[in-house]
Each structure stands twice: as C-alpha cells, then as structure tokens.
C-alpha cells in the first residue's frame, strides 16, 4: 500500500543551484531524494510546495513523497537526517492523504527578506543576509510597502522570463521591521511571480537610496525595466506555507540569524481568504 508523507525541511541554500532537480549542479531535491531512498529502501520522488532559486534559504519548505515503505514519522525524520548533509535538515514529518499536493493544497506562502547593516561584511553569517553599509529607515519603508496590499498586477516586480499565466497576485500582509542591525521584509501572499519578493526588496532598497520616488507609482507603471535591480538571493527565506487540513505542517519558523522573534505576527491558515488567481 502506498503512503503519502509530508516533511518540513530547513536548508541553507548557499551551496545549491536551487530546490528543483536540474541537469547540472547540486539541488535540494536530488540530495533529499537520495537520503529518503536509503531510508525507504526504494526510489523516492519529492514534490515541493514552492521552488527556491540558487542561494535562497528555507526554514519551513514543505516536501511530499509517496512510498510503499512503512515507517513512523520519527523514523523518517531521524533516518533522513542521518544521510543528509549539514546544510539540509528535516525537522518535522506528517502522514497525509493521497490527495495532498504540497503546492496546490497551500492556501498562502510567507517569505522573509533580511537586510543586515554592517560597514564590514561579517565572516560569520555572510550568506544568511544581504549586508549593506547603509542605514535603512524601516518605518518609512513599511509605510511605502502598504500600497502592495491586496490584488494587483505585479509586472513591475516580475522577472523577465517568468512563465506564469497572469501577473496578478494577492498580497495578504506585508511589513518592514527593524530588529537591531537587521531590517526584515515580511510578506504573505497567495502565490508569487518569479523573483517577486527579491524584486520588491530591491525596490525598497532603491527607495531608501533615492532611486525610486514612490513605490505605488512603480506598481502602477507595470514596467519591470523602470524598477531597481533584483535584490541578492542570500537575504531570502521561505518561512511558512499554510494548509487548512494540516495546520501543523505550516507553522512559522523564523531564520535562526534573527534569534527568537516575537515582533512578527502569528498567522494561521484561516487568517486569509483563499483567493485563486490564474497562475
């Protein structure tokens, strides 16, 4: 009998070319499948809730696979971590029904983008934030970001080779918060265009530098060529994916770099209306 198993996965994306298997380069999928195959004693194919690019991190990526092997949830976690390298960890496991699809079953997804302020880039943690030598006015950036709330055409924040059918997405919540030397963009949306969060982060940084006059105007122009460059990948974290049927799968996990975060809102799957747009 085939079983469906969902995993909560954390990884440091620094030494990966992305989450999805590719013809060349080290990927999260290939490494995770190899470890799970050893635990299951059979070939395993993993599906992810969302793709992450080269250099992007995750604190709670959700992966699902189907297997004939019967193992306890703790055995899957311990077994996978035995064979995984140090830059990937399985932190949770859930038995799910056969209809569960980690991507299509998700109600919304949450990302953090982390800027770190230092005159000299630190030796420790340099790949876990985008380090800048500017001081960012988090309060002003937060106020500017509120124009992105709701459903919009996000063409100005869409990568040129994005293959999504529609540029429209719905942002449920967005904030910019200061935590000591870190400034964090926290964004929750039903789905994202290619590099959308990094492009929003890049626009906010451009705003701080005076290269963007007004974020709402940039949104209305619907022209990617008018926007600042994409922010680097190392500041981006996939932190939460919400599922109505399996809420424990989608618990928020903050990037360890930020310590224990009590400043950020706690969202549950039912907090936002599930609005599906042609994606």
| Known catalytic residue at 271 | no
Contact residues for 17 (Cβ-Cβ < 8 A; gap 6+): 24, 25, 26, 27, 54
- Tokens describing residue 173: 């919540």
Which residues share a beta bridge with 73?
none
Tokens 């063409």 belong to 155
The pLDDT of residue 1? 83
The pLDDT of residue 274? 60
Contact residues for 75 (Cβ-Cβ < 8 A; gap 6+): 39
CA distance 39 to 211: 52
Q: What interhelical angle do 196-208 and 138-145 show, nearest 10?
A: 130
CA distance 63 to 135: 37
Q: Which of 252, 141, 247 is nearest to 202 (CA)?
A: 141
Handedness of CA 136, 139, 141, 142 (dihedral sign): positive
CA distances to 20, 24, 61, 274 from 176, in Å = 29, 36, 22, 24
CA distance 30 to 214: 42
User: Three-state secondary structure along the chain?
Assistant: CCEEEEEEEEECHHHCCECCCCCCCCCHHHHHHHHHHHHHCCCCCCEECCCCECCCEEEEEEEEEEECCCCCHHHHHHHHHHHCCCCEEEEEEEEECCCCCCCCCCCEEEEEEEEEECCCCCCCCCCCCEEECCCCCHHHHHHHHHHHCEEEECHHHCCCCCCCCCCEEEEEEEEEEEECCEEEEEEEECCCCCCHHHHHHHHHHHHHCCCCCCHHHHHHHCCHHHCCCCCCHHHEEEEEEECCCCHHHHCCCCCHHHCCCCCCCCCCHHHCCCCCCCC
The pLDDT of residue 276? 55
> Residue-wise pLDDT tens for the chain (279 aa)?
888 999 999 999 999 999 999 889 999 999 999 999 999 999 999 999 999 999 999 999 999 999 999 999 999 999 999 999 999 999 999 999 999 999 999 999 999 999 999 999 999 999 999 999 989 999 999 999 999 999 999 999 999 889 899 999 999 999 999 999 999 999 999 999 999 999 999 999 999 998 888 999 999 999 999 999 999 999 999 999 999 999 999 899 999 999 877 778 889 888 887 655 444
Q: Which among 12, 41, 47, 53 is annotated as catalytic?
A: 53
Per-residue pLDDT reduced to its tens digit, 83-142: 999 999 999 999 999 999 999 999 999 999 999 999 999 999 999 999 999 899 999 999
């Amino acid at each position: 009998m085939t079983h469906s198993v969902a995993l909560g996965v954390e990884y440091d994306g620094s030494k990966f070319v992305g989450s999805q298997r590719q013809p060349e380069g080290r990927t999260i999928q290939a490494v995770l499948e190899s470890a799970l195959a050893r635990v299951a004693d059979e070939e395993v194919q993993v599906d992810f809730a969302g793709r992450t690019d080269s250099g992007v991190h995750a604190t709670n990526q959700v992966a699902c696979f189907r297997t004939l092997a019967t193992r306890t949830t703790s055995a899957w976690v311990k077994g996978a971590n035995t064979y995984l390298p140090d830059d990937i960890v399985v932190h949770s496991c859930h038995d799910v029904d056969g209809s569960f699809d980690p991507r299509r079953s998700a109600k919304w997804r949450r990302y953090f983008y982390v800027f770190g302020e230092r005159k000299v880039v630190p030796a420790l943690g340099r790949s876990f934030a985008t380090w800048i030598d500017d001081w960012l006015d988090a309060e002003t950036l937060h106020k500017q970001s509120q124009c992105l709330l709701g459903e919009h055409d996000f063409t100005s924040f869409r990568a040129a080779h994005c293959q999504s059918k529609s540029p429209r997405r719905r942002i449920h919540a967005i904030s910019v918060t200061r935590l000591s030397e870190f400034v964090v963009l926290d964004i929750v949306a039903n789905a994202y265009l290619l590099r959308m969060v990094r492009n929003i982060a890049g626009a906010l940084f451009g705003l701080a530098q005076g290269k963007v006059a007004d974020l709402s105007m940039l949104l209305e122009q619907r022209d990617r060529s008018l926007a600042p460059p994409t922010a680097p990948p190392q500041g981006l974290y996939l932190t939460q994916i919400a599922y109505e049927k399996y809420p424990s799968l989608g618990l928020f996990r903050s990037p360890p770099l930020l310590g224990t975060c009590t400043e950020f809102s706690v969202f549950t799957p039912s907090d936002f209306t599930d609005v599906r747009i042609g994606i």
